[in-house]
Structure 1
Amino acid sequence: MLLTALYEATDPALCAAAPEGETEEAATAAEAEPQPAGRVGVVLVSHSREVAASTAALAEALVGTGDPAPVAAAGGLPDGGVGTSAELVRRAVKDVDRGRGVVVLCDMGSAVLTVKALLNDREGGFPAGAEVRIADAPFVEGAVTALVTASAGGDIAAVLAATDDARTYRKL
């Protein structure tokens, strides 16, 4: 219900109709105005390539539209083994960065340490100018809420707030 309410509250198609008297020319002019940078990107860092990829696929499926925000899985090691790779995380952040920030979710332990090390590495970390934030949230629930919120056009603060809500959501 939380995801549905969030999506419905931010879906432009569900918002009120244009004010009376707005002409087609005005609507066309508004569409021609320069658009802001793309949506917030989401990166999923797991010790397992399969876990990261399947969580990304699940989050995309639950977005509810055919146009989810950019999401990338950075799971496992480059050789396919279990672990975390700074290079895969760096590449994933670069792939999803559309100029509005990137929220990174980690499954546990060294995934968190890898991302924190990249955040603190001024020269070899993330691309210059990229706003990258780590979310303190459960991996699957956080991934879904992050991607739904980013896909609905939420800024980085809204995406992080949604993941925070996922962290505190009680199941009983």
Structure 2
Amino acid sequence: MSGKVGIVIVSHSPDVAKGAAVMVRGMVGDEVPLGFCGGNPDGGLGTSVEKIMAAIDAAWSDAGVAILVDLGGAETNSEMAIEMMPPERQSKIVICNAPIVEGAVMAATEAWGGSSLADVKKTAEELSPQ
């Protein structure tokens, strides 16, 4: 797998998740591992722990994975997904408190440069209002 931190985008809307992923790919290309998901299991608005786990797997990197979420339910389900991952992976996954689109682009840009998981998270979170 890539030596670059992976990025996961979790939105209640499949369209928002895909759109943010398209922006990330447009900015950094395919060099950063990327996963995204949105919508509940029935295809409506919401999130799914299983979809989040699959997105983490898609973006997995030994350098870690930074997750960007849009709303509280996405954060809660992302936390549950992390808890369900193998123990050796759990410590390498963080949730960023950052705007989903801008945060994902900035996190991916930082990851593209080879930064650590902590630096990727910090860069994304610098965009969050204080």
- What TM-score comes out, normalization by structure 2 length? 0.89
1:128 is matched with which residue? 87
Instruction: Select between 70-79 and 89-98 the one with higher mean Cα deviation.
Output: 70-79
Q: How does 1:145-164 map to 2 (within 5 A)?
A: 145-164=106-125
Question: Does the alignment pair 1:45 with 2:15?
Answer: no
| CA positional deviation for 1:41 | 0.5
Is the aligned partner of 1:118 residue 2:81?
yes
Kindly report which structure 2 residues correspond to 1:15-54, keeping only aligned pairs within 5 A, or say none.
Answer: 38-54=3-19
Output the TM-score relative to the length of structure 1.
0.69
**3-state SS in 1 of match to 2:88:** coil
Whether the 8 Å contact between 1:68 and 1:148 is mirrored in structure 2 is: no
Q: For residues 68-115 of structure 1, what are the alpha-carbon distances to aligned partners after superposition, in whole Å with 9 as ceiling and x for unaligned?
A: 301111111233211100000001111111211000010002101111
Summarize deviations over 1:54-78 as a string: whole Å, max 9, x none.
1010121122xx4430111111123
Structure 2 counterpart of 1:49, which letter? P
> By percentage of residues, which structure has more strand?
2
Corresponding residue for residue 167 of structure 1: 128
1:136-169 residue CA offsets vs partner (Å, 9 max, x unmatched): 1011110100111111111101101111222259
Higher relative contact order (CA 8 A, sep 6+): 2
| Residue aligned with 2:4, SS | coil
Q: State the 1:37 CA deviation.
A: 5.6
RMSD in angstroms over aligned alpha carbons? 1.8
> Are 1:67 and 1:151, in contact at CA under 8 Å, matched by a contact in 2?
no
How many residue pairs match? The answer is 128
Unaligned runs of 5+ in 1: 1-35
How many Å separate the matches in 2 of 1:73 and 1:150? 16
Partners of 1:118 and 1:77 in 2: how far apart? 14
Unaligned runs of 5+ in 2: none
